[in-house]
């Protein structure tokens, strides 16, 4: 059953070519992501998954073709797009000399989000107690990932771009991450996940897109996501209260 008026796509790429020096990262990508969708992006190493996410975040400009994120051109309306988009990349963007709490606080305030959500977000990701006052240089890779995730959760933007989010996380953190993605989908957030873990993410996403050689070369629909949600969801603002860690009703 088609929705009465199709909402504008959250992401719209048309024949996008993105360059890094002389090397084409994306060689003509056509992609549309509807708002509220959860999409898995898969492909071999070096295919352009990370570049695709970076283009959507507005970090890399397109030299040919068209890109629209949340209806806006990420190169023209940079600040607006960036405030509404959250990118979880391989790097965690942490300052080594600051503590975890200071890093999260800076990142959240820099993005213009509500600093009151910091405590809840950190607690949700298991960053509590002594960990909060540890200098970022002493963290393991997985812990750094969790800090970056905490920033994302505190900000709760409309569009989440996750680049191999499960990499480096332990079992607890992976479970938390899956819960978070489920909650975000249920709340109407558009989530795009680039991952090699098709089975895990496949249960969270509705669609998988295959990228090879800098182009979209395949697509397949996946089963309905675990957290059932309406077909056309309007993008929601930040979720109300972030639930504290503890048993969460989660359909396995």
Partner 1 sequence: MWRDTVLVAGKDLRIEARSRVALSQVAPFGVVALVMFAFALGPDRATMAKGAAGLFWVAVLFCTVLAVQRSVSVESVDGARDGLRLSGLDPAGLFLGKAAAVAAQLVVLEVVLGVGVTVLYGARIEAPWLILASCVLGTIGLAATGTLYGALSAGLRVKETLLPFLLLPIAIPVLLAGTRIWQAALAGGVPADGTPWLRLLVVFDAVYLALGVVVYGPIQESA
Partner 2 sequence: MTTITDVGTPTPVTACPVPSPRARWTVRIIGISAAVGVALTVWLGLWVTPPDQTQGDLVRLVYIHPGVAWVALYLAFGLAAVASLLYLWPRTRSMFWDRLAAASVEVGVVFNICTLISGSIWGKPTWGVYWAWDARLTLTAILLVLFLGYMALRRVPADPEKRARRSAFVALFAAVDIPIDHFSVLWWKTLHQGATVLNPDLSPTIHGSMAWTLLISFVALTLAFVWMLLVRYRIGVIEDWLAANELDVALLERQSEGVAPAPDLGLERPPVPEGAR
Contact positions vs partner 2 (CB under 8 A): 17, 19-24, 27-28, 42-45, 47, 63, 196, 198, 208, 210, 212-220
Among partner 1, partner 2, none, partner that 44 touches (CB below 5 to 8 angstroms by kind): partner 2
CB of 24 to partner 2, least distance (A): 5
What would the x/- binding string for partner 1 be over residues 124 to 153, using CB under 8 A?
-----------x--------x---------
Among 3, 6, 20, 109, binds partner 1 (CB under 8 A): 109
Q: Which one among 47, 94, 194, 208 touches partner 1, defined by CB under 8 A?
A: 94
Instruction: Find, among 96, 94, 100, the residue nearest to 127 by Cα.
Output: 100
Integer Cα distance of 114 and 42 in angstroms: 33
Q: Does 96 bind partner 1 (CB under 8 A)?
A: yes
Closer Cβ to partner 1, 138 or 220, answer by number: 138
Select from 15, 19, 80, 119 the one that contacts partner 1 (CB under 8 A).
80
**Residues 162 and 88 sit within 8 Å (Cβ to Cβ):** yes
Q: Does 87 bind partner 1 (CB under 8 A)?
A: yes
Task: Give the rounded distance of the alpha carbon of 104 from its chain centre.
Answer: 17
Contacts of the segment 122-131: beta carbons below 8 A, 24+ positions apart: 122/150, 122/154, 123/242, 123/244, 123/245, 124/150, 124/153, 124/176, 124/180, 124/242, 124/243, 124/244, 124/245, 125/149, 125/150, 125/153, 125/173, 125/176, 126/172, 126/173, 126/176, 126/245, 127/100, 131/100
Biggest CA pair distance of the chain: 54
Rg of the chain on CA atoms, in Å = 18
Point out which span in 95-103, 117-125, 178-186, 229-237 binds partner 1 (CB under 8 A): 95-103
The site map against partner 1 for 2-41 (x = CB under 8 A) is ----------------------------------------
Residue ranges that bind partner 1, judged by CB under 8 A? 57, 59, 61, 78-83, 85, 87, 89-98, 102, 106-107, 109-112, 135, 144
């Amino acid at each position: 059953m088609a929705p009465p008026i199709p909402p504008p796509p959250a992401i719209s790429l048309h024949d996008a070519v993105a360059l890094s020096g002389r090397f084409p990262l994306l060689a003509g990508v056509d992609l549309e992501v509807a708002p509220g969708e959860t999409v898995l992006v898969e492909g071999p190493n070096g295919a352009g998954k990370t570049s695709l996410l970076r283009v959507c975040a507005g970090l890399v400009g397109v030299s040919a073709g068209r890109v629209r994120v949340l209806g806006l051109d990420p190169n023209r309306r940079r600040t607006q797009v960036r405030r509404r988009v959250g990118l979880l990349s391989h790097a965690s963007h942490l300052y080594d000399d600051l503590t975890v709490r200071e890093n999260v606080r800076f990142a959240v305030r820099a993005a213009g989000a509500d600093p009151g959500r910091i405590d809840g977000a950190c607690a949700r990701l298991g960053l509590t107690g002594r960990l909060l006052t540890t200098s970022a240089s002493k963290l393991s890779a997985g812990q750094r990932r969790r800090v970056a995730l905490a920033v994302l959760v505190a900000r709760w933007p409309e569009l989440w771009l996750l680049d191999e989010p499960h990499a480096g996380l332990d079992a607890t953190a992976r479970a938390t991450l899956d819960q978070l993605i489920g909650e975000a989908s249920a709340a109407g957030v558009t989530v795009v996940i680039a991952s090699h873990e098709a089975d895990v993410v496949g249960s969270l996403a509705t669609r998988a897109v295959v990228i090879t050689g800098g182009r979209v070369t395949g697509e397949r629909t996946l089963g309905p996501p675990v957290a059932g949600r309406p077909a056309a969801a309007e993008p929601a603002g930040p979720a109300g209260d972030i639930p504290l860690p503890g048993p969460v009703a989660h359909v396995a």
